[in-house]
């Protein structure tokens, strides 16, 4: 009897090992489904489609509500901007022009912030011009618009950060007999400007003690402005000097000619 049970057990195990695995309905390919399994799968698919459609409709409604709210906010913002323009007595064109001018100043400030210290020192007149242009914009009521107010304050700080103090060096005037010192020769010295045509810089840097640039005195301690191109004021002073010189020479010639008989 025990042998019979053993044989039956071996047969059952063998049959089990040879049998194909039974897949759950949800894992079967469509072609292997029974009619009932296929109908059940279709029902689940239709239920998922309905759930997704409901979710889509919910999201679409929220999107429509959001668009409606956005349009309402834009309308309120436009009304607010129109009211501000009315209060400051400006038009949209005025604001656009203001924005453009401010943008130009911003670009110039960024450019100058990238300059080396020496180059920046040479461009101090440009820094003053930037500050003057910004102050002109600040005098407009348009500068009070929130879009510009903080930006202008930050720009003013940036411009102040561009100012540099010129290092002041001095030169003690010697005698003409020993040193041949005049503004032309002093400017031409290697350790000064190495360029005699820069003499107006020394003159304009010492107008407190030099009235006539043709006349300086031994022992005078002259301030030597930093190296760099002539400023607009120095160029104007030089041109005026040569005009006066030419006029004086012409008058002297006329007087001399008038005295000849």
Range of the domain at 104: 87-160
| Residue 77 maps to a domain | no
Do both 138 and 199 map to the same domain?
no
Q: What is the CATH number of the domain that holds 220?
A: 3.10.350.10
Using the 3D structure, point to which of 145, 160, 175 is the last residue of a domain: 160
Q: Is residue 7, in this structure, part of any structural domain at all?
A: no
Number of domains in the chain: 2
Lowest mean pLDDT among 18-27, 51-60, 208-217: 18-27
- Tokens found for residue 26: 């949800």
119 or 153: which leads in pLDDT: 153
122 pLDDT higher than 90: no
Same domain, 153 and 210: no
pLDDT digits (tens, 9 = 90+) for 144-176: 998 999 999 999 999 999 998 766 689 999 999
Name the pTM for this structure. Answer: 0.44
Is residue 29 assigned to a domain? no
Give the chain's length: 261
Q: Is residue 4 over pLDDT 80? A: no
Tell me: do 205 and 153 sit in the same domain: no
pLDDT band per the 50, 70, 90 thresholds, residue 41: confident
Q: Is residue 137 domain-shared with residue 188, that is, in the same domain?
A: no
Q: Are residues 104 and 153 in the same domain?
A: yes
Residues 112, 155, single domain; the answer is: yes
Q: Is residue 33 part of a domain?
A: no
Question: Chain centroid to CA 119: how far?
Answer: 19
Structure token pair of residue 18: 């040879």
Same domain, 150 and 170: no
Tell me, yes or no, whether 194 and 218 share the same domain.
yes
pLDDT higher than threshold 70 for residue 115: yes
Count CB neighbours of 261 within 10 A. 3
Residues 192 and 142 in one domain: no
Q: How confident is the model at residue 81, as a pLDDT?
A: 79
Task: Write out pLDDT tens, residues 183-206.
Answer: 999 999 988 999 999 999 999 999
In a domain, residue 107? The reply is yes
Which of 160, 175, 209 is a domain's end point?
A: 160
Cα–Cα distance measured from residue 97 to residue 74, given in angstroms and rounded to the nearest whole number:
23
Q: Which of 108, 126, 160 is the last residue of a domain?
A: 160
The fraction of the chain above a pLDDT of 90, given in percent, is: 60
Contact 130, 101 (CB under 8 A): no
Residue 182 lies in a domain: yes
Considering the domain architecture, whether residues 188 and 147 belong to the same structural domain is answered as: no
Same domain, 94 and 151: yes
- Residue 253 has a pLDDT of 73
Residue 234 counted as domain residue? no
């Amino acid at each position: 009897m025990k042998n019979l049970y053993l044989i039956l057990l071996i047969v059952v195990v063998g049959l089990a090992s040879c049998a194909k695995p039974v897949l759950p309905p949800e894992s079967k390919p469509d072609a292997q489904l029974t009619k009932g399994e296929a109908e059940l799968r279709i029902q689940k698919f239709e239920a998922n489609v309905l759930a997704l459609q409901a979710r889509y409709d919910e999201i679409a409604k929220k999107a429509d509500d959001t668009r409606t709210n956005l349009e309402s906010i834009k309308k309120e913002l436009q009304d607010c901007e129109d009211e501000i323009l009315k209060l400051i007595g400006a038009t949209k064109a005025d604001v656009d022009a203001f924005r453009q001018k401010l943008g130009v100043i911003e670009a110039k400030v960024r450019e100058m912030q990238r300059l080396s210290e020496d180059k920046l020192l040479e461009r101090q007149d440009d820094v003053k011009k930037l500050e003057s242009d910004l102050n002109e914009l600040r005098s407009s009521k348009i500068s009070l618009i929130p879009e510009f107010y903080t930006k202008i304050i930050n720009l003013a700080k940036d411009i102040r950060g561009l100012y540099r103090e010129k290092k002041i060096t001095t030169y003690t005037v010697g005698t003409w007999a020993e040193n041949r010192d005049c503004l032309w020769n002093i400017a031409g010295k290697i350790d000064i400007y190495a360029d005699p045509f820069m003499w107006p810089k020394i003159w304009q840097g010492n107008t407190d003690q030099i009235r006539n640039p043709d006349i300086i005195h031994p022992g005078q301690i002259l301030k030597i402005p930093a190296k760099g191109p002539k400023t607009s004021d120095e160029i104007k002073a030089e041109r005026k000097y040569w005009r006066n010189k030419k006029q004086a020479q012409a008058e002297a010639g006329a007087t001399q000619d008038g005295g000849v008989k």
